[in-house]
Structure 1
C-alpha cells in the first residue's frame, strides 16, 4: 500500500484551503451577525446548552471527534488528512477575518437575504471541500460517511440531520427564526449535492477514499 503522504495532491490541498477560506468568510460576515441558527452539530450543541447546561466547547468537541472517527473508519486515512487540512484552514482563516469588522453589518436586519447568501457561501465552500475529499466540520464528516454506505445522495443526508436538530430547536427558538434556518440549510445542502456530482479530473471519487 502506498504511503498516505504520496497520495496527497497539492491541487487538492489548495482547493481545500480555498474552500475553508470561503466558508470562514461566509460564516463570519453573514451567519455570525444574522441571527439565523444552524442545524447539524452546531445547532445540537446550542440545544444541549439551553436544556442541559452542557457547554458547546465540550459537546461540540466530542460530537465532532465522533464524526471524524466514523469518517476515518469508513473513508480512510486520506479523508482524515484532508479533513485536518480543511478544519485547520477554516480556524486560521476565521481568526484572520475576526481581526476586521464585518463587511455587511446591515444584513443583520435582512434575515431572508442572509439565509440565501449564507447558503450560497456554505454550499459552495463545503461543496468544494467535500468534492475533493475533506470535511471542514463534523457535520460534513458525518454526511460523507453515511453517503458512502447508504444509497442516498449526500444533500438528503445533510437535510435529514439538519431537520432533526431544527425541529428539536423549536422547543426554545421562535418558529419564524427557524424558518430562515430551514431555508439556508435546504439551499446549502442542495448546492453541496450539486457540486458533489461535478467531475474534477485527477480527483478521487468519494468511494475511492475508503481504499486509502
Structure 2
C-alpha cells in the first residue's frame, strides 16, 4: 500500500511537478499570447480568460473544484489526492509566471505557438500520467460518464475538447486560430503517445499461410526476426490453420510483402502498430 511519503509516491509527485511546469509554460508562453486554445479545462480557462480577463490559474481551480467533488468517489484515494495536487500546482505555476515574474511570451505566432505549445502540453501531460495523476477537468468527467455509459474515456474527452474548440469560434472569431488550435491538440496527442509508449519503429505482422515451413526459413534468412507459429482452426471450413506472428522493422516490411507475393499469393497478411514491447527477444 502506497503512503503519502513512500518512495513510489515521491516519484509520482516529482513527475507531477515537472508536468505541471510544462503545462504552465505552454499556457503562458505559447497559447495565451497567441490567443490559441488547448483541450480540457486549461482550454476552457483560456476562453474564459479572454472574455473576463480573470487570472487563468484561478479559473482552472474554479472549474475543477466541482468536478473533483463530483468525481472523487470514482477515483482511488491516492489518485484523487494526486489530481487535486496537480490542479493546484498548474494553477499556482500559471499565476506565478504571469502575476509574479511576468514571463514574456516565448513567441507570438499562431503556427509556432500551436506547434511548440502542443509539444509542451504533450510533455506535461505525459509526465502527469506517469505520475499516476490527471490534469483534472475533462478526464474526471470522462471517467464518470464512461462508468455510466458504453462510451470510452477517450471518446468522451474528444467530445469535450471538440466542444471547447467549437465554442472558441464564437469567442475568438478567428477561424485560423481555431484551426491551429486543432492542430495543436493533435500534436499533443502524438507527443503523449511517443513519451508513454516510445517511438517504436516496428510493426506486428500476422501471416496466415499453408507454407509455414517455407516462410519460417525465408523470414529467418531474409529478415532475421524471431517469431511464433500459432496453430488454429478455420472459422468456416474448420480446417487446420497456421499463422506466423513476427515483429518487423518498418524498413523491412516491403521485403516481407515481396516474399509473400512471390512465394504464396494466397497468403493472408495483416500489419498492425507495435505500440509497446516488453521482454526479451525483440
Q: TM-score, normalised by structure 1?
A: 0.70
Q: Matches of residues 197-212 of structure 1 in structure 2 within 5 Å? A: 197=197
What is the Cα deviation at residue 131 of structure 1? 3.2
Equivalent-residue separation in structure 2 for 1:113 and 1:147 (angstroms): 35
What is the Cα deviation at residue 76 of structure 1? 1.7
Which residue pairs with 1:112 in the alignment? 111
What is the Cα deviation at residue 23 of structure 1? 1.3
Equivalent-residue separation in structure 2 for 1:145 and 1:193 (angstroms): 23
Q: Matches of residues 143-154 of structure 1 in structure 2 within 5 Å? A: 143=142, 152=152, 154=154
What is the Cα deviation at residue 196 of structure 1? 5.1
Which residue pairs with 1:180 in the alignment? 180
The answer as to whether partners of 1:130 and 1:140 remain within 8 angstroms in 2 is: no
Q: Matches of residues 1-212 of structure 1 in structure 2 within 5 Å? A: 5=4, 9-44=9-44, 46=47, 61=61, 63-98=63-98, 99-102=101-104, 104=106, 107-108=107-108, 110-143=109-142, 152=152, 154=154, 156-172=155-171, 173-193=173-193, 195=195, 197=197
Tell me the matched-pair count.
Answer: 190
What is the Cα deviation at residue 12 of structure 1? 0.7
Runs of 4+ in 1 over 6 A off after TM superposition: 55-59
What is the Cα deviation at residue 90 of structure 1? 2.0
The answer as to whether partners of 1:17 and 1:85 remain within 8 angstroms in 2 is: no
Q: CA RMSD in A?
A: 3.4
Which residue pairs with 1:208 in the alignment? none
Equivalent-residue separation in structure 2 for 1:47 and 1:100 (angstroms): 20
Q: What SS class does the counterpart of residue 18 from structure 1 fall into?
A: helix
Higher relative contact order (CA 8 A, sep 6+): 1
Query: Where is the helix percentage greater, Structure 1 or Structure 2?
Result: 1
Equivalent-residue separation in structure 1 for 2:65 and 2:160 (angstroms): 17
The answer as to whether partners of 2:61 and 2:91 remain within 8 angstroms in 1 is: no
Q: Which runs of 5+ in 1 are unaligned?
A: 199-212
Q: Which runs of 5+ in 2 are unaligned?
A: 199-282
What is the Cα deviation at residue 145 of structure 1? 5.2
Equivalent-residue separation in structure 1 for 2:114 and 2:36 (angstroms): 7
Q: Which has the larger radius of gyration?
A: 2
Query: Where is the strand percentage greater, Structure 1 or Structure 2?
Result: 2
